[in-house]
Structure formats: C-alpha cells, structure tokens
Amino acid sequence: MATHKLLLLPGDGIGPEVMAEVKRLLGFFAKTGMAAFATEEGLVGGACYDAHKVAITEETMAKAHEADAVIFGAVGGPKWDKVPFDARPEAGLLRLRKDLGLFANIRPAIVYPALADASSLKREAVEGLDIVILRELTGGVYFGEPKTITDLGNGQKRAIDTQVYDTYEIERIARVGFELARRRRNKVTSMEKRNVMKTGVLWHEVVEQVHAREYKDVQLEHMLADAGGMQLVRWPKQFDVIVTDNLFGDMLSDIAAMLTGSLGMLPSASLGELDARSKRRKAMYEPVHGSAPDIAGKGMANPIAMLASFGMALRYSFNMGKEADLLDAAIAAALAKGLRTADIKSPDATIVSTSEMGAAIVGEMERLAA
C-alpha cells in the first residue's frame, strides 16, 4: 500500500482543536490498516508569526510543495491585528494557495438530513440541498497589483486593490466547473458583475467560449453576482455548480455555508493543475470557517468541516472514494443520533464538545466498517 504524505498545518484559534480530530481519524486508518499516512506538522499564521516573525517559513513552504496533500486548519485572530500587513496570519494561507498554484477551490454545501432545521432558512428551502461553489483562488483582487495605500499629502490617503484576470485563468476554472457538473446534475451557473466590471465582461465571454467549444452538453446560465447572492438565499436548490471569481466566491461560499446550518459544516478542497507526467495535482484541504477566536480553547468548535475537508482529500488526492463515503456516512450517523456542537444545536439534541463529536464520528466509522 502506498504511503501518502500529509502536511498538517493547524494554525490559530480553533485550528488546532479541529485538527486534533483529524489526527484521531488518522489513528483509525492506521489501526484498521485501511490506508497509510505519513504526517508532518508545521506552523502557519499567527502561531508562526509568534515563533518566526513571518506567517509561514520557507522550510514549511518546501514541505508543502513535497506533500501529497496539505491539511489546513485556520489562521488569524485579534492578537495579530497590529502585525505588518505582509506578515499577517492570512498571508501564510494566501502564499500557500498562490505558490502551490491552487486555482480551483471546491466548496460543497450539503445539508445533512438531521440538520435541515438548523438553517436560518425554511426546511423546504434547504432540505436535500447539494450544491458546489467553485471559487477561483489564485487570481482577482486577492493578488492583483498594484495593491497599495498612498499618502496623498493633503490629509487624504488613497487605497488601491486591483482586480485582474487573464483568459487562461478563466478558461481553466470554467473547465473544472463543467467537469464537476458532468458528474453531478450537469448545470453550471457563472457569476460576475459584467454590468460594472471589465473582469466581469471578460469572465462572461470566456466562460461562453469554453462552453461552446468543449461543453455544449452541460447547461450553462449566467447571473450577476449580486442577484446570484439573492437567489442563493431565495431558492438555493436551483443551483448545481456555481463558478465565480476569488472575491465573489469568498462571499458566496459564506452565504452557502449558512444554508447548511453553520459555517462549521463547510469543507473545501483547493486543487492545482493536473501534472501530465505524474498524474497528480497539488492540493490543500481546509474548512471554510475561520479561526473563531471567540470560542477558541473552549472545546466548543464544530470539527465536521475539518473532518469533511479531510474526506475531500481522500476523494480528490488519494482516490479513496469508498473511505470518503464511509466518513460522510459516519458524520450523518452521528448527527442522526442527535449529537450537536453548539453552533448547530437544536431543542432536543445533545450538546457535545469538539472531541466528543470527533470521537462519535470515528466511532461510527468503526461501526460502519465492521
């Protein structure tokens, strides 16, 4: 059996707490012999800044390049509000995404049957929901230059961010969207603001071209991103795969998370280009939620988004679809038993801690695998 190399980067806030549950899951795989993982661990974000005055070290970057998959917790917190912009915790995450070329960020929003009432939307609007937000992750306003604040000398300052997209960046993310849709319900909704932004005009044009050239069998529709956000809370089941840029994808995926009941439920996979020779791609797996400093250290965090992110690693990096299905079933089973972390609590549920939820899920895996 091949040994898969993992780099674990727990990060800040609740990151280490939810990563501990991934380690518990790795223990299950080691014990059962279902898969072999070799893990290394590193610092990222504020934790790394405290130790090394940077958000990620060159040594950790080198390990990330070598790993078969990076498993990422969360970064950031008020403790680091005043550190230099280039060394802020988020810079570590953005460098990993950029340097590893992880342009395709897959954020599935799935409503588990037991949680249909945890959403702020009505049960009928979200019950059975299964959609994907596909976010472009290495371009747009996150990385565009210039990105500056200039003192104008008259008591005023000017801040500039640059939104920039080249044809190839839109083509490759569109292709990932169409490929995903073909294996799902065959529909892609592309979101941009072509009524205001030049990048939106090009985005729309290129998505149309890729569709006409290579994916005529997939249903394609376009929405302005603001209207798309509205539709996402009005009737989310109309969507299958939503493909959008880096900034809109950041916002729309937080909205999609709340459809599922909590930010603590949404996993994500960030993938690079397929290497023709090795047939592998660089990949990082991270929950959509952040470091949640308000509840850090209290054992209250929901580990499901982190565990489900690891499930995506099983599926996308290690071709272990069966094991990923097993993990999904174990999560559903733990929820069906009425176990809830505080973020998804409901009137007659049992409130459990991060580690109790993790232990229950791994326990369900043992039961289901037996």
| Contact residues: ligand IPM, CB under 6 A | 76, 90, 93, 250, 288, 290
The question of whether 226 is a catalytic residue gets the answer yes
According to DSSP, the β-strands at 339-340 and 104-110 are unpaired
Dump strand ranges (E) for the chain: 3-11, 36-41, 69-74, 104-110, 130-136, 144-151, 157-162, 187-192, 219-224, 241-244, 269-271, 283-285, 339-340, 350-351
Compare residues 6 and 292 and give the one whose CB is closer to ligand IPM.
Answer: 292
Q: What is the DSSP letter of 329?
A: H
Shortest separation between residue 190's beta carbon and ligand IPM, angstroms? 20
Compare residues 132 and 288 and give the one whose CB is closer to ligand IPM.
Answer: 288
131 contact, one of ligand IPM, Mg ion, none, CB 5-8 Å limit per kind: none
Judge whether 120 and 228 are in contact, CB under 8 Å: no
The question of whether 147 is a catalytic residue gets the answer no
Q: Which stretch binds Mg ion (CB under 5 A): 56-64, 132-140, 154-162, 249-257?
A: 249-257
Among residues 136, 169, 250, 343, the one that binds Mg ion under rule CB under 5 A: 250
The question of whether 117 is a catalytic residue gets the answer no
Compare residues 14 and 93 and give the one whose CB is closer to ligand IPM.
Answer: 93
The question of whether 142 is a catalytic residue gets the answer yes
Which of 257-266 are b and which e, b meaning 16 or more Cβ less than 10 Å from the residue's Cβ?
Answer: bbbbbbbbbb
The question of whether 337 is a catalytic residue gets the answer no
The residue behind tokens 């012999």 is: 33
The residue behind tokens 């049960």 is: 123
Closest by Cα among 34, 47, 112, 104 to 73: 47
Q: Which residue number is nearest to ligand IPM in terms of Cβ?
A: 90
93 contact, one of Mg ion, ligand IPM, none, CB 5-8 Å limit per kind: ligand IPM
Q: What are the catalytic residues?
A: 142, 193, 226, 250, 254
Task: Name the residues that contact Mg ion, by CB under 5 A.
Answer: 250
